[in-house]
A and B are shown apart, each in its own frame.
Chain A
């Protein structure tokens, strides 16, 4: 059964304290792995798509990496405005590419 697991469930960091979020996946065929950011009361904001092991993508203080079993979202020198829930998802193998979601990591950056 296809599955996505995120850890930790919540992460509290001081401003400037770098860390990583984990997304492990078990799928029969990878058609991409997506990272989203969601703020309270808003829809998820698309961050990255990764398609193959070894691929890396960066955006400001965020860098996403992918292996054959997991993805990491590295956050470097975070700021309070990076506080949000970060969601990881993979498309299922059905024809509509329905997303299989992780439960998310709630990131809190304290000033």
Chain B
């Protein structure tokens, strides 16, 4: 139990285009979902926190107009990288907090490469 999926697992896009990444909790309801970014050999960096039906809360330095988050249901959150640039290339990981608990489960990650 407690499986989180992400789609796609990797994506290559051209500079200036937008990319959407989906995060789904497959066998539990997620009160809160989190989006992280990780550069090679570095720690996870929290980008934003979202609750179902509410606007996401972004960490300092993260552009909310560039990284659009939608949390439409208790099992689905999406991250859209708008007008992507090469510096947005990174590994994006979502996590989901299981309703009624403090436990967070992570997706397998999405590798984004912007050319």
- Which residues of A come within 8 Å of B, CB atoms? 31-32, 34, 36, 41-46, 49, 91, 96-99, 101, 103-104
In the complex the two chains form, what is the Cα distance from A32 to B2 in whole Å?
Answer: 17
The B interface, classified by DSSP as helix, strand, loop or mixed, is: strand
- B24: chain A residues within 8 A (beta carbon): none
Complex CA distance for A37 and B58, rounded to whole angstroms: 26
User: Which B89-105 residues have C-beta < 8 A from chain A?
Assistant: 91, 93-95, 97, 101-105
Q: Mark B14-56, 1 if CB is under 8 A from A, else 0.
A: 0000000000000000001010000000011010010100000
Q: How many residues of B contact A (CB 8 A)?
A: 26
Most buried by B among A34, A98, A103: A98
The secondary structure that dominates the A interface is loop
Q: Is the CB of A96 within 8 A of B109?
A: no
- The 7 tightest CB contacts between A and B, nearest first, are A43-B106, A91-B102, A43-B109, A43-B93, A32-B102, A31-B102, A97-B102
Kindly identify, within residues 51 to 79 of chain B, every residue whose CB is under 8 Å from any CB belonging to chain A. Answer: 51, 57
Q: B104 near A45 (CB under 8 angstroms)?
A: no
25 contacts between A and B (CB under 8 A): A32-B101, A34-B104, A36-B106, A41-B109, A42-B108, A42-B109, A43-B4, A43-B94, A43-B107, A44-B93, A46-B103, A46-B105, A46-B106, A49-B103, A91-B102, A96-B34, A96-B49, A96-B51, A96-B57, A97-B32, A97-B97, A97-B102, A98-B46, A98-B49, A103-B43
